[in-house]
Structure 1
Amino acid sequence: MNHLMAMPVLVPLVAGACLLITFKAPLMTQRLISLGSCSLLALLGIWAVLQAGQHPHTLYYLGNWAPPYGIVLVLDRLSAIMLLLTACLSLIAGLYACRGTDREGAHFHALFQLQLAGINGAFLTGDLFNLFVFFEILLIASYALLLHGGGRARSRAGLHYVIINLVGSALFLFAVGTLYGLTGTLNMADLAVKIALIPAEDQPLLTSAALLLLVVFGVKAALLPLLFWLPRAYSAASAPVAALFAIMTKVGIYAMLRVFHLVFSQGEQPINLTLWEWLWPLSLATLLLGAVGVLGSASLRTMTAYLVIVSVGILLAAISLPGQEMLSSALYYLLHSTCLTATFFLLADLIGKQRYRGYDRFSLVSPLNHRWLLGCLFFIAAISISGLPPFSGFISKLWLIQSAIKAPSGGLLWGLMLLTGLLTLIALSRAGSRWFWRPTTSVSSPLRLDKTSFVLICLMLTTSLVLSLLAEPIIHYLERTAEQILSPDEYIHAVLQSAWLSEAEVVP
């Protein structure tokens, strides 16, 4: 077995445990452990992408117990992409936190690493129960990270965040218990085989379990009507925490792709067809609500939180439509939107620290230091996330629109995407002109601009340009990824192998 498969989970888990044990160590020591872990995860992410490109499915059996009896980790193109994206995002967010955010409360870096362990585990697990376990690990860590630094706004947002996710966790257990009672297994590949052979009298119960999972993943992904916790929680969190949270909704979307295309796609009447029918109108409503929220936001952090909701709506609508091209274009948009929303959370903090009052609120007029420098950053980020050339936003939305036109009912998504882009452009233009174009009074003692934070945001914006310059090889990789997702038989054979498949024909 290739033990590197377990490292994306073990490295942050061990780092988090060490940080908890040595919580009295100097802050610099804690930073070195945390950043060392993030750097190693970035290297492991690159390895994962290369490994998945050469070998369709790489398996790791914990304790050397073969599935479906033992725990298995599965690396394919989709999980490899998500691992690399999470690692790069965590490294930038961790470096940004070291500029002072980690001083605001205790155990920041330990919680940061534990959340990464949960996220990476969710991307690698091949077992539905362990998906629940890793969800709980990342959620428990995110509860504390959201409250890091204290304050009434964070406590209030944290309460709503905890309650809605605890309800989601309870529903997840109900769904998992129902599936286990019906099939006697929770290995995803084995579930796919057993569910295809479920007798007709058990179909209503099976459909109910699938719809429960749709609700659970909808909570994680912030799908309407389960999204109202997100704007308050994300806008109240500290900047590096909110930047890392940009990947959290994508964990829910990943779970939908993995479970619905694999577990519920087999048999003569696949259950995932019913799930897509529910997901399509809800995702369009999510997209529309997110666009209205962007236009009506009172601060840049709140606007960015609604931009996350917009990206969720577009992604879920895209994966609801059939076709390999539609799915691959959605994956490209996932990379773009995650990087850009994380950038905006960091940019909002940098701008807020250069204002004498009001932080990032639009309604308050305040002198702004380094106006032209920050204005250039804001302009580049705005045109990229709005979908204007030459950045990745233009390529991702163009590819999505071209794919949507070919898909049935895709014209509705096409129209809503154009409307959302227009509303986003209006909102960002209004914010930019209010901050950077209006003349402001001069100040006698300007605030110091943190050069490291500025460089980190520039690096995040560079990822948008890199996605554009390397669009051809990235698109080719994503097309193969979409093909792999839509061919679940390969995953099932890789995990269970032919010997077990022949025995699994008889349902207990």
Structure 2
Amino acid sequence: MMLLDHLMTAPIVMPALIAPVTLLLMRRHRGVALALSLGGCMAMLVASIALFVMAQDDAIRSYALGDWPAPFGIVLMLDRLAATMLVLSAVLGSVVLAHAVVTGADRRGWHFHPLFHFQLMGLNGAFLTGDLFNLFVFFEVLLIASYGLMLHGQGALRLKAGVAYVVVNIVGSALFLIALGLLYGLTATLNMADLAVKVARLGPADQGLLRIAGLLLLTVFALKAAVVPIHLWLPRTYAATMPVVAALFAIMTKVGIYAMIRTVPLIFGAQAGAAAWVPAPWLLPAASLGAAIGFVGVLVARGMREQAAFAVLASTGTLLMPVSLWREATLAAALYYMVQAVLAGAALFLVADVTIRRRGQYADAVVPSPRFAGQDAAGLLYLIAAVAAVGLPPLAGFVGKLLILDASFAVPGWPVIWAAILASTWVGVIGFSRSGSTLFWKAAPPEADAIAGSIRSRAEFIAPAILLALLAILTVAAGWMTAQTRAAAAQIMAPNRYVTAILGAR
């Protein structure tokens, strides 16, 4: 039993160890470094699946580092939501890293593999931590790694977008620290379970500061998730970076949403007085606008990477609509949609990468080009990825949106959600149809230059095909998956269970 308890540290410890070792080995022993990097991702996937199986008993587990009891020491926690996100992160990381190796994208710089594993470490730490300060620390780890990955491959446009990305996140980090300072000054703790207890005991004189701290904290999470109107950094950043890196970034915006789901019902729920449900008034309108702006961006995008970036923005808005209602049924629907949105967004970027490599000088521009090698396969993958991203039957995107519509019906605000989802889906269908027909089915003009470039390997199609196959599995297993998300939502909306699991009888 003790060994299984220690397994909770594996998703953090393994990438933390692999990153520096690959850095030392990459220049002189590249083959060994690659084997270690890929093997580490697979080992992390196995550990994550084992933790997911552990979480099936519906218990909420805690792990006190150094055996210091909560709330005085660093604590990790595992519940159904954290286990699901760990598996999603490990699956995405393994597929994307394999694609980077197959395509040679990792050869554009010596530090790709160490940065990649530090990124996974930050993601997994954010999912497992039970402390707001350590959430800040893991946010910084994944952000610092993302700065390096975003600039991987160099380029003036990438550097310009990278500077803006860094500035935005520095501002977010500063706001995060201010929020933590306010919360610590009010409660003398940053342990999430302890905060849930102490926030409920604050007197009327402290309610104003508590509300300010809550709004600042949720603004930071909204910035990380690219919620409208603080979303402008995402399309430029994701479109400028290498597609294989942007595919991994597809889960980064969902970390901000995960942080909202983790903290709002627990700390700022009904027991928080004037700060109860602090984001409630503005989150639904912002989410609706996000879905609309995202799919309008898909419609007017001039490149495949830009289109995929706007699709990620649209998925964030769609996801936040049911989350903003803070009900068990809508949260369950949102969690199902979140899993498929990450896979669909990453698949769009990998399909864009495969297409760019075959179109030569035409790259990802939405213009007709001469026929290229593998065009039919690329077009088919694009079609399936677009169907998943926009939410058409029969793939998981349709199931997810159907669950959201059903769960939100007859809840205050449901007409806004229904109108936003149906209208934005219609716009998304037009956008992807226009781009797909231009890229893969429209003949190039006779005077168009022939494609210049080398013959590419068919192995490049494997990674996007795996992600799309996982979406198909998610559709077939929708009954089992919805049972998982409902159980996870029940844990989230029962904060007393979380507090008891972390703090015990005290």
Bin of the TM-score, shorter chain as denominator length: over 0.9
How far apart, CA to CA, are the structure 1 residues paired with 2:119 and 2:276? 30
Which residue matches 1:193?
A: 197
2:57 corresponds to: 54
Equivalent position SS for 1:361: coil
Q: Select 1:324's aligned residue among 328, 336, 346.
A: 328
Q: Aligned partners of 2:400 and 2:159: how far apart in 1?
A: 37
> SS of 1:389's equivalent?
coil
2:473 pairs with 1:466 = yes
Q: Which residue of 2 aligns with 1:14?
A: 17
1:12-33 Cα distance to aligned partner (Å, 9 max, x none): 0000121233343332222111
| 1:300-359 Cα distance to aligned partner (Å, 9 max, x none) | 110110111111111111101142221111111001110000000010010111113220
SS of 2:279's equivalent in the other structure is helix
**Map 1:413-424 → 2, pairs under 5 A:** 413-424=417-428
| Deviation at residue 266 of structure 1 after TM alignment | 5.0
Number of the residue aligned with 2:251: 247
TM-score (norm 2): 0.96
Contact persistence 1:183–1:195 (CA under 8 A): yes
Structure 1: any 5+ residue segments left out of the alignment? 501-508
Query: Superposition pairs for residues 199-238 of structure 1, below 5 Å?
Result: 199-238=203-242
Of all paired residues, the percent bearing the same amino acid is 41
Q: TM-score, normalised by structure 1?
A: 0.95
Partner residue in 1 for 2:500: 493
Structure-2 change in CA distance of 1:445 and 1:126 (3 Å) = closer
Whole-angstrom distance in 1 between the partners of 2:64 and 2:277: 32
Q: Kindly state the Cα deviation for residue 277 of structure 1 after the two structures are TM-superposed.
A: 1.7
- Quick check: 1:264–1:270 contact (8 Å CA) kept in 2? no
Aligned mates of 1:448, 1:280 — CA distance in 2: 48
Moved more, 61-70 or 432-441: 432-441
Which residue is equivalent to 2:489? 482
Shift of residue 292, structure 1, vs aligned partner: 1.7
Mapped to 1, the partners of 2:59 and 2:330 lie a distance apart of: 21
Residue of structure 1 equivalent to 2:109? 105
Match of 1:128?
132
5+ unaligned residues in a row in structure 2: which ranges? Answer: none
Structure 2 residue aligned with 1:67, among 67, 70, 73?
70
Q: Which moved more, 1:276-285 or 1:301-310?
A: 276-285
Q: Distance in 2 between matches of 1:266 and 1:185?
A: 20
- Counterpart of 1:369? 373
Deviation at 1:55, TM superposition (A): 4.3
Q: 1:298 aligns with which of 299, 302, 311?
A: 302
Matched letter for residue 501 of structure 2: A
Q: Indicate conservation of the 8 Å contact 2:298/2:431, yes or no.
A: yes
Shift of 1:270: 6.1
> Could you say what secondary structure the match of 1:355 adopts?
helix
Q: Distance in 2 between matches of 1:131 and 1:435?
A: 42
What is residue 29 of structure 1 aligned with on the other side? Answer: 32
Q: Which amino acid aligns with 2:68?
A: W
Deviations 1:357-385 (A, max 9, x none): 22011146444332222222112222222
Native 8 Å contact 1:295 1:426 kept in 2: yes
CA distance in 1, matches of 2:451, 2:42: 41
Deviations 1:412-439 (A, max 9, x none): 1111111111111111111111122223
State the match for 2:364 in structure 1. 360
Map of 1:506 onto structure 2: none
Of 444, 449, 461, the residue aligned with 1:454 is 461
Deviation at 1:443, TM superposition (A): 6.0
Corresponding letter in the other structure for 1:164 = V
Contact persistence 1:290–1:306 (CA under 8 A) = yes
Question: Which residue number in structure 2 is paired with residue 43 of structure 1?
Answer: 46
Q: How many residues align?
A: 499
Q: Partners of 1:398 and 1:482 in 2: how far apart?
A: 17
Q: Which secondary structure state, in structure 1, belongs to the residue aligned with residue 63 of structure 2?
A: strand
Distance 2:175 2:368 in 1: 43
Query: CA shift at 1:54, angstroms?
Result: 1.4
Q: Is the 8 A contact 1:369 1:446 kept in 2?
A: no
* Range with bigger deviation, 1-10 or 400-409: 400-409
- Deviation, 1:444, is 9.4
CA RMSD, 1 decimal: 1.6
